[in-house]
Structure 1
Amino acid sequence: MTLDDLRVFVAVCRAGNLSAVARDLGCTQSAVSQHVKRLERETGVSLLERQPRGVVPTPAGRILRTAADEGITGLDLALRRLRDLADGETGSVRVATGATTVRHFLADAVVAFRQRYPRVSLEFFTESSSRGCFDALAGSELDLAWVTLGAPVRGIEQRAVVELPWVLAVPAGDPLADRAHVDAGELRDLRLIRLPPNSTSAAHLDAACAELGVRFGSDTSVADWDTAFLLAELGVGRALVPALPGHGTAGGPLRLVPVPSLRPLSVGWAVRRWDALSPPARAFAQTVVESCHGLPATPGPSASLTPRTTPPPPARSPAGPPPGAASSTGSGGPPVR
């Protein structure tokens, strides 16, 4: 039994498909199967059950997967820390996110973090959705993912940072543009620009509208929030979207009309384990919290990273200065969805 065997087995359990894991690893399906068979020989039990559309872990497989997940997470953390020690004062923070996220939520924090820790490498990786971010966290050395918070995900901890109210985005000449607010009931049977299909934000909006007995149609859909704002500004249609910084400024071509009766949307951080974050990753996550809450991005007392279902504890500063590292690299990832 090797670490590679366990990593491949966990990946197969997550994907539910041997060929998909083979593509990701750049090897053959037979090679993936050999990793699993070696584990089955050594454990003496069947670990996977074949089904028409793939494979699922057996009861024994679920036990091994849980243990392997925990062990691999701890080992990855140890290896990261050993590399930091070997490199001296070096390190990196790896974040799954996107252009919309960086522009609207992380930009000020990136600048503040770079000023405070100029030798730490910031690396941004592209994922197409919150679900993709969760999968990337579970299967790689990523530290953090900025996501739209949704249902609990096994092996992932989510913590809210910002609550985004819903607004109706309309062009300046729209009959609703000068309204102080719009009741969700007024949207009933309207045709609106649709949020990304199968996204967390769309599911949240559907649930919030269902609570109020509101349904609306759509003849246009988009892949991210910024596109919804742009199409509304161009007069293509009205969009029900989360309020984001930089849109709907006074006197501009786009107006945002609050819809206070809809439950706000939570966005924030997702990680494998908060207590396993490296000092640089924890410091970056905290810097984003400070920036989003309008607090000075300094090492002093600040808003804490708190679980979304738990009242905030007394504020504490990040633990000690992190080991630094080289310059930032990479580009944005997916819009928060």
Structure 2
Amino acid sequence: MTLDDLRAFVAVCDAGSLSAVARDLGCTQSAVSQRIKRLERETGMDLLERRPRGVAPTQAGRVLRRAAADSISGLDLALRHLADMRAGHGGTLRITTGATTVRHFLSTAVVDFRRRHPKVNLEFHTENSSRRCFTAVADGTAELAWITIGPPVRGIEQHPVMELPWVLAVRTDDPLSARARIEPAELARIPHIRLPEDSTSRMRLDGHLWRQEPADGRGMPGSARLSGRHAPIAASGTPASSPVSAPSAAASGTPAAPTGVPAARSGVPAPVASSRPSAITPPGVAAPNVDGTAGTASVADWDTALLLAELGVGHAVVPRLPGWREEAHPTLRLVPIPSLPPLAAGWAVRQWAALSPVAVEFAETVNACLREGA
């Protein structure tokens, strides 16, 4: 059994085709088949079964594929680190995150880290959901991911760093701007403009609001039937506010991370997916629901939601972002929603103990900068 045998096997499982993998590897289908047969001889079990359209792993094959894929991606990452060390430029750190994360959560730390490590190459890869960030970390494309903390994901450690209190963004000429606070039940009675369905913060907010009102006969909150001139904008992107100061631990139940990485906060409610139909419409445009009442629209990130609220398009339910300065937005007011459990944000990694030294230092630099700015 060789590493190339395992690479070929994982590729066949993912592609479902021997011929496709042969084309990718630039070899014959027979050569790929021989590699699979060698693995089957050494394991003493059938690893693939033929299907009408290609092949699929057997139960034994799925076990081997899972272990091999995890090992190969970790080895590939280590080989890249060694290549960087050999090249003498301090290494490359690949980070994946949402579109607005660097501006709100990482900018100060990036400047500080670059000043101390000018030879380290920082690569930022943008994804539009925590799920895609998890995939990038799992396959070795990125070593670190800044995410909205969600339910446990197999093979991924989640380390909460920040808690983001929810606020309602309204223009200062809106009657709600005079309120000292907003209750979740009030939000549940108003249609919201939403983020995409697979957004973790969208699921979190939906889960909280879903519990505020009894469902009608169609399984939808009665509040979803109300119409109005403005629709609040429930937005997301990537999180922040008061740091979590407890000792660190992986939210997925994996062993605690080293000193300097905050712990998972207990009590963060699991996301509850909404069964409400989600219309994909331009921001600020109220699309009709199936019953003809005012419906929902979509925004891509928290910044867009805040901008639309400032323009008077509607209200925005967003986490309070770090470094937010009211004086820079004189026509916008953020009204606290203290009864909503805060949103947690932090790091996703495969294994904290296996991170490269530059990755650990960068993450700890970010954590320290966020604590100082809180």
**Structure 1 residue aligned with 2:194:** 194
The structural deviation recorded for 1:37 is: 4.3
Q: Which has the higher contact order (CA 8 A, sep 6+)?
A: 1
The superposition leaves residues 147-168 of structure 1 with CA deviations (integer Å, 9 ceiling, x where unpaired) of 1111111111111111111111
- Give the 3 Å change call, closer, same or farther, for CA 97–58 of structure 1 in structure 2: same
2:349 is matched with 271
How far the C-alpha of 1:76 sits from its partner, in A, is 2.8
Give the drift of 1:18: 4.2
User: Match of 1:244?
Assistant: 321
Partner SS, residue 344 of structure 2: strand
Partner of 1:174: 174
Question: Matched residues in 1 for 2:162 and 2:4: separation?
Answer: 38
Provide the residue aligned with 1:320 in structure 2: none
Q: Which amino acid aligns with 2:160?
A: A
With the length of structure 1 as denominator, give the TM-score of the two structures: 0.75
Residue in 1 aligned with 2:87?
87
Mark the CA change 1:35 to 1:105 in structure 2 (over 3 Å): closer, same or farther.
Answer: farther
Matched, 1:132 2:210: no
Do the aligned partners of residues 34 and 211 (structure 1) sit closer, same or farther apart at CA in structure 2, a change above 3 Å counting? Answer: farther
Match of 2:148 in 1: 148
The answer for the alignment partner of 1:6 in structure 2 is: 6
1:46: how far off?
4.0
Q: Confirm whether residue 293 of structure 1 aligns to residue 371 of structure 2.
A: yes
Q: 1:170 touches 1:237 (CA, 8 Å); kept in 2?
A: yes
* Counterpart in the other structure of 1:219: 296
Partners of 1:3 and 1:153 lie apart in 2 by 26
- Please name the residue that 1:302 is paired with: none
Letter in 2 for 1:176: L
Aligned equivalent of 1:97: 97
**RMSD of aligned C-alpha atoms?**
3.3
Greater Rg by CA = 2
TM-score normalised to structure 2 length: 0.68
What stretches of structure 2 of length at least 5 have no aligned partner? 215-220, 225-294
Q: CA deviation at 1:35?
A: 8.4
Distance 1:280 1:220, change over 3 A: same
Structure 2 distance, partners of 1:292, 1:52, is: 54
Work out the number of aligned pairs and report it. 290
Judging changes above 3 Å, is the alpha-carbon distance between structure 1 residues 74 and 139 closer, same or farther for their aligned structure 2 residues?
closer
Q: Distance in 2 between matches of 1:35 and 1:262?
A: 58
The separation in 1 between residues aligned to 2:105 and 2:204, in whole angstroms, is 20
Label 1:11 to 1:273 Cα distance change in 2 as closer, same or farther (>3 A): farther
- Structure 1 position 259 matched with structure 2 position 337: yes
2:339 partner SS: coil
Alignment map for 1:52-91 (pairs within 5 Å): 57-88=57-88, 90-91=90-91
Deviation at 1:78, TM superposition (A): 3.4
Q: Is the 8 A contact 2:168 2:316 kept in 1?
A: yes
Closer, same or farther: CA 231–8 of 1 in aligned 2, 3 Å: farther
Query: Identity of counterpart residues, as a percentage?
Result: 55
Distance 1:35 1:271 in 2: 35
Change (3 A) 1:32 1:237: farther
Q: Which amino acid aligns with 2:205?
A: L
Partners of 1:60 and 1:199 in 2: CA distance: 34
Output the CA distance in 1 between the equivalents of 2:39 and 2:333.
Answer: 62
User: Displacement of 1:63 after TM fit?
Assistant: 1.7
1:196 and 1:295, CA in 2 relative to 1: closer, same or farther beyond 3 A?
same
Residue 267 of structure 1: how far off its partner (Å) = 0.9
1:71-107: CA deviation from partner (whole Å, max 9, x where unpaired):
2244234323422442346212110123300010000
SS of residue matched to 2:193: strand
1:235 matches 2:342: no
Secondary structure at the aligned position of 2:134 is classed as helix
**Paired position in structure 1 for 2:290:** none
Is the strand fraction higher in 1 or 2? 1
CA distance in 2 between partners of 1:114 and 1:126 (Å): 20
Alpha-carbon deviations, 1:173-200, whole Å to 9, x = none? 1111121110111113202221232211
Q: Which residue of 2 aligns with 1:116?
A: 116
Aligned-partner Cα distance in 2 for 1:152–1:144? 16
Aligned amino acid, residue 197 of structure 2: P
Structure 1: 5+ residue stretches without partners: 297-337
Matched position secondary structure for 2:192? strand
Counterpart residue type for residue 40 of structure 1: I
For residues 208 and 28 of structure 2, what CA distance do their matches in structure 1 show?
A: 43
Are the equivalent residues in 1 in contact too, given 2:166–2:340 (CA < 8 A)? yes
